[in-house]
A and B are shown apart, each in its own frame.
Chain A
Amino acid sequence: NAGVMQNPRHLVRRRGQEARLRCSPMKGHSHVYWYRQLPEEGLKFMVYLQKENIIDESGMPKERFSAEFPKEGPSILRIQQVVRGDSAAYFCASSPQTGSPSYEQYFGPGTRLTVT
């Protein structure tokens, strides 16, 4: 009964490098949400994806950030040319229903990105 999986759990990057964060939803879930949590703050929505489709990216920064959820494999959140302000915990959540999303979202353990 595997839950939402994320890797790596911790990621250290120097300024200017690329960060790739992976999320595997719960078995049978085909809806993935990414959220960012800055230190000592709440969670902010970034992007919502279904398999092979970006549905809502209204929370994504306009530059350097991209996301995908291919037909096979995990969802990827990619941050190019990282800056210190990107240091945060990145959580993904998956939603139970396949045809249309359901309200409940279950979170993965998060990836803690540190930019040095």
Chain B
Amino acid sequence: GENVEQHPSTLSVQEGDSAVIKCTYSDSASNYFPWYKQELGKRPQLIIDIRSNVGEKKDQRIAVTLNKTAKHFSLHITETQPEDSAVYFCAASWMDSSYKLIFGSGTRLLVRP
């Protein structure tokens, strides 16, 4: 079955710096890759997603890149702010799997003021 690996498990950056989180997936049939942000005790919130027919997508300070050949995708956050501190999860999904999401293990991002 599909497996998603996520690195690093923790990431500490200075406010204003960039943060990059990377994920790899195993099933080449995967064609949808969302990123979720989860604050302590809260629900996962969809922050950006990308489909397999696109190589990059950007939304203000957040961008996601996808390399289908290498089967990896990355989240880039620029000009980080303390409120970006949270746990970030990547996930993969594909049509023949009922669209269920297979999640990575999460990255705890700390933005130091």
Question: Once the chains bind, are A43 and B89 in contact (CB under 8 Å)?
Answer: yes
Which of A41, A105, A108, A110 contacts B101 (CB under 8 A)? A105
**B-chain residues with CB within 8 Å of residue A109 when the two chains form the complex:** 42-43
Confirm or deny: B103 has a beta carbon within 8 angstroms of a beta carbon on chain A.
yes
CB distance from A110 to the nearest CB of B (A): 6
Contact B42 A103 (CB under 8 A): no
Query: Which A residues between 68 and 87 are near B, CB-CB below 8 angstroms?
Result: none
Alpha-carbon distance between A56 and B101 when the two chains are bound, in angstroms:
12
A93 to B45, CA, bound (A): 11
Name A42's contact: one of B51, B89, B100 (CB within 8 Å).
B89
Contact mask for chain A residues 95-116; partner B; CB cutoff 8 A; 1 contact, 0 none: 1000001111111111000000
User: Cα distance A43–B104 when bound, in Å?
Assistant: 8
Q: List chain A residues, Cβ under 8 A from B100.
A: 33, 45, 48, 56, 59
- Contact between A42 and B105 (Cβ–Cβ < 8 Å)? yes
Interface size classification for chain A? 20 to 34
- Contact in complex: A43, B99 (CB < 8 Å): no
Query: Are B98 and A56 touching (Cβ within 8 A)?
Result: yes
User: Does A91 lie within 8 Å of B106, measured CB to CB?
Assistant: no
User: Does A55 belong to the interface (CB within 8 Å)?
Assistant: yes
A107 lies within 8 A of B44 (CB): yes
Q: Are A104 and B43 in contact (CB under 8 A)?
A: no
A-B contact pairs, 24 of them (CB 8 A): A33-B100, A33-B101, A41-B105, A42-B103, A42-B104, A43-B103, A44-B103, A45-B100, A45-B101, A48-B99, A48-B100, A56-B98, A59-B100, A101-B98, A101-B99, A103-B32, A103-B99, A104-B46, A104-B49, A105-B46, A107-B43, A107-B44, A108-B43, A109-B42
Interface residues, chain A, with chain B CB atoms under 8 Å away: 33, 35, 41-45, 48, 55-56, 59, 91, 93, 95, 101-110
